[in-house]
């Protein structure tokens, strides 16, 4: 076993050096040995969609074509999560379809709350933002980094903040 671990570590170092030389990035072990297209395909996501190995996918998550799902993302589909085509989901984004507030504060007497969440096509989700259960984000919307989205965002809107509010709308 010690010999196997030594070989694994050597392979890991070699793969990391190659990744750094080619892409100027260092990634987790799973992302060194997996292919992002394959990861997305295994979840049944659309053609051309890529998904880092360290993405947490729970429940019923449907993702369209040519969507990029960055590292350290949480896609909670316990209440049904639908994501369109050509969506960019930046690092650290968390999208929820459930919460346990009522369940926790009632000491388990009330059920876990679920609501479907929908992200349209052509949407950009900035790094480290959180989308609450039941929210719909319209096509071609842009949500700024580190925002907390607790209400629907219309198509072509630009929203940011905590809580996120629409700041601009592209009329095209």
In the chain, what is the straight-line distance between the N-terminal and C-terminal CA atoms, in Å?
61
Do the Cβ atoms of 137 and 118 come closer than 8 Å?
yes
> Is 98 one of the catalytic residues?
yes
Q: How far apart are CA 14 and CA 119, in angstroms?
A: 38
Rounded (5°) CA angle 56-61-64: 110
109 Cβ contact list (under 8 Å, min separation 6): none
- Out of 76, 93, 98, 126, which one is annotated catalytic? 98
Strands (E), the chain: 50-51, 56-63, 68-69, 74-83, 88-89, 94-95, 98-99, 113-114, 117-119, 124-125, 130-131, 136-137, 142-143, 148-149, 157-161, 164-169
Catalytic site positions: 98
């Amino acid at each position: 076993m010690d010999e196997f671990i030594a070989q694994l570590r050597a392979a890991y170092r070699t793969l990391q050096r190659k990744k750094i030389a080619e892409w100027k990035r260092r990634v987790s072990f799973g992302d060194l040995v997996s292919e992002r297209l394959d990861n997305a395909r295994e979840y049944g996501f659309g053609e051309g969609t890529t998904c880092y190995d360290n993405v947490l996918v729970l429940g019923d998550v449907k993702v369209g074509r040519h969507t990029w799902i960055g590292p350290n993302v949480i896609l909670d589909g316990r209440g049904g999560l639908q994501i369109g085509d050509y969506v960019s989901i930046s690092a650290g984004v968390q999208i929820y379809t459930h919460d346990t507030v009522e369940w926790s504060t009632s000491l388990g007497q009330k059920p876990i709350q679920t609501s479907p969440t929908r992200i349209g096509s052509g949407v950009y989700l900035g790094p480290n933002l959180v989308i609450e259960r039941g929210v719909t984000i319209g096509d071609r919307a842009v949500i700024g980094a580190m925002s907390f989205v607790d209400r629907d965002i219309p198509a072509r809107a630009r929203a940011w903040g905590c809580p996120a509010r629409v700041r601009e709308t592209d009329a095209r």
